[in-house]
């Protein structure tokens, strides 16, 4: 076990003093100090083991020895920029291309998901000569200025909103809570028609569409799985308007969905984006990312006459690491594992839904799952505070999970890909216990299998807008001593 250099309190004090206060920390009243990690486990300063259900960056497992070795060996030899010829760069580009449809053949290596999406926008603007971008409700695509503009997840709640007039927000293709739901005869067409109408509106105002950008499965947006056929239809409308389709695979790529290597492939073989952006899992924690596009788009970018240079993008160490990640995915059949464990997890979660009134929806693909908690299955009232309670109580049992989505009421599972059937059993068993206790405390019961009867329907469960507030009702039911503690710990 690695040794602690500072006492936890000192680490907290120094962080408060020197680290920007908007850099949020998990569980702020009692943050976790992680010293070491391996596979799907993280260890704190006391050697306590946490089951990691949220770190999709540590894709092939934390500190995978093959990845560490590949990076260290290359670092001993050489690390420099891509202005020199190096085999790692071209071999890695070729390896990535092998996982993609043929026409996506040209790579730009960059350093973060944000850099990848920012470059994707530049490519789209240059290729099309147009400016307008369509993004989805609740989307998050990165932290740089150009991406905050296309990330309603960030800007939709901000009060000083002077939003970029060339950005247009289409409805999220959410068939549970969205505008067109599972009972709609053709939600894919209905959502795609929204984009078509939006394009027409842009044209009427003299704008021209450069790109439609979407995560292949929305993650921060609430683990949303778009209905099959939606992307094909959107791509048709967007291309007809002279724009291109950018698939953001920063969260969901590299085999996580189990059946396919890329999540956009879930839409069907007839769908190929014009640009794919990659990040997080690509380097298993090493900061690297990539934009892959077509020859035509890359040539148009060249024609601007501006050189593209990136000091660190595509350096030999990053490429060695990227190749090791691809090797481990194959060697350990992690895509297959995502499929098998993902199916097992889904069936366990479905049973939770049958049992617990708070569980409104279960959705997912492979090791990318969402459990949407609602206080009322008919009205879909988000159970935001309850979701926070689940997260906190799991942490006390050494399981790391998070809640996201516009109402912060969707429990997100996106663990390292070595997550096992036993890990799935454990996390679902704990969620089951916690939900049982919360429902007992709230007097919630399943009624006729679908609606939820709340015996204390007048009791309000206040939640701050960000969803990180106390569960007053539960705390009162448990006794005042616990209530105080509850109030404190639910502030993240």
Ligand X SMILES: Cc1ncc(COP(=O)(O)O)c(C=O)c1O
Q: Which stretch binds ligand X (CB under 6 A): 215-223, 291-299, 391-399, 460-468?
A: 215-223
- Residue 216 class from Cβ within 10 Å (0-12 exposed, 13-18 middle, 19+ buried)? buried
Output the smallest distance, CB 289 to ligand X, in A. 6
Residue 250 interacts with ligand X (CB under 6 A)?
yes
Residues 6 or more apart whose Cβ sits within 8 Å of residue 171: 136, 137, 178, 179, 180, 191, 194
Among 141, 393, 407, 412, contact with ligand X (rule: CB under 6 A): 141
Work out whether strand 368-376 and strand 410-413 pair parallel, antiparallel, or are unpaired.
Answer: antiparallel
The yes or no reply on residue 142 touching ligand X (CB under 6 A) is: yes
Question: If 0-12 CB within 10 Å is exposed, 13-18 middle and 19+ buried, where does residue 213 land?
Answer: buried
In the complex, minimum distance from the CB of residue 319 to ligand X, in angstroms, rounded to a whole number:
18
| Measured distance CA(227)–CA(214) in Å, rounded | 13
> What CA–CA distances, in Å, run from 389 to 160, 294, 373, 477, 488?
31, 46, 11, 14, 12
The piece of 15-23, 113-121, 338-346, 369-377 that touches ligand X (CB under 6 A) is 113-121
Q: Which residue of 82, 114, 486, 492 would you call a contact of ligand X, by CB under 6 A? A: 114
Question: Quick check: 113 binds ligand X (CB under 6 A)?
Answer: yes
Determine which residue in the list 279, 281, 322, 366 makes contact with ligand X, applying CB under 6 A.
279
Q: Which residue, judged by CB position, is nearest to ligand X in the bound state?
A: 113
| 142 or 243: CB nearest ligand X | 142
Determine the size of the site formed for ligand X (CB under 6 A).
15
CA distance 140 to 82: 29
DSSP state of 226: P
292, 298, 301, 295: which is closest to 129 by C-alpha? 301
Say which DSSP state 84 is in. S
Does 74 bind ligand X (CB under 6 A)? Our answer is no
Based on the shown chain and the rule CB under 6 A, indicate whether residue 248 belongs to the binding site for ligand X. yes
Work out whether 404 is an interface residue with ligand X (CB under 6 A). no
Nearer to ligand X, 250 or 390 (CB): 250
- The least distance separating ligand X from the CB of residue 204, rounded to whole angstroms, comes to 31
The binder of ligand X chosen from 52, 118, 137, 215 (CB under 6 A):
215
Q: How far is the CB of 279 from ligand X (least distance, A)?
A: 5
How many of the other CB atoms lie within 10 Å of CB of 197? 12
Tokens 């990330």 belong to: 151
Q: Which of 50, 125, 140, 245 binds ligand X (CB under 6 A)?
A: 140
Binding residues (CB under 6 A) for ligand X: these are 112-114, 117, 140-143, 215, 219-220, 248, 250-251, 279
């Amino acid at each position: 076990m690695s040794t602690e250099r500072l006492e936890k309190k000192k680490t907290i004090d120094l962080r408060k003093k020197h680290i920007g206060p908007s850099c949020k920390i998990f569980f702020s009243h009692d943050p976790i100090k992680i010293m070491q990690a391996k596979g799907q486990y993280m260890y704190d300063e006391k050697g306590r083991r946490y089951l990691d259900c949220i770190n999709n960056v540590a894709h092939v497992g934390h500190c995978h020895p093959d990845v560490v070795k590949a990076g260290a060996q290359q670092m001993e030899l050489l690390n420099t920029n891509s202005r020199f010829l190096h085999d790692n760069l071209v071999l890695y580009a070729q390896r990535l291309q092998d996982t993609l449809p043929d026409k996506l053949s040209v790579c730009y290596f960059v350093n973060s998901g944000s850099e990848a999406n920012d470059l994707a926008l530049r490519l789209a603007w240059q290729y099309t000569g147009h400016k307008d971008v369509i993004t989805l409700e609740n989307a998050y695509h990165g932290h740089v200025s150009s991406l905050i503009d296309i990330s309603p997840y960030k800007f939709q709640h901000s009060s000083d909103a002077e939003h970029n007039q060339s950005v247009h927000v289409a409805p999220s293709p959410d068939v549970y809570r969205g505008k067109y739901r599972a009972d709609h005869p053709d939600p894919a067409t209905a959502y795609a028609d929204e984009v078509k109408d939006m394009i027409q509106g842009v044209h009427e105002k003299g704008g021209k569409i450069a790109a439609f950008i979407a995560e292949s499965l929305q993650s921060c947006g609430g683990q949303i799985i778009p209905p099959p056929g939606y992307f094909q239809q959107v791509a048709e409308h967007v291309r007809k308007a002279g724009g291109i389709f950018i698939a953001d695979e920063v969260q969901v790529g590299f085999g996580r969905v189990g059946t396919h290597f890329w999540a956009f492939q879930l839409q069907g073989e007839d769908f190929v984006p014009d640009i794919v952006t990659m990040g997080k899992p690509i380097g298993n924690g090493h900061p690297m990312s990539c934009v892959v596009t077509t020859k035509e788009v890359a040539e148009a970018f060249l024609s601007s006459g501006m050189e593209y240079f990136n000091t660190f993008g595509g350096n030999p160490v990053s490429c060695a690491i990227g190749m090791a990640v691809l090797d481990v995915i194959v060697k350990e059949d992690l895509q297959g594992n995502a499929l098998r464990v993902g199916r097992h997890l889904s069936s366990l979660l479905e049973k939770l839904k049958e049992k617990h009134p708070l569980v409104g929806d279960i959705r997912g693909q492979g090791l990318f799952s969402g459990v949407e908690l609602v206080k009322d299955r008919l009205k879909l009232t988000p159970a935001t505070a309850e979701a926070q309670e689940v997260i906190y109580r799991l942490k006390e049992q050494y399981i790391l999970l998070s809640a996201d989505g516009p109402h912060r009421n969707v429990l997100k599972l996106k663990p390292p890909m070595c997550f096992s059937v036993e890990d799935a059993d454990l996390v679902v068993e704990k969620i089951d216990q916690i939900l049982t206790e919360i429902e007992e405390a709230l007097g919630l019961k399943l009624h006729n299998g679908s609606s939820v009867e709340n015996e204390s329907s007048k009791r309000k469960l206040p939640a701050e807008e960000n969803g990180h507030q106390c569960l007053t009702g539960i705390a009162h039911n448990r006794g005042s001593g616990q209530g105080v503690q509850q109030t404190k710990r639910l502030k993240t």
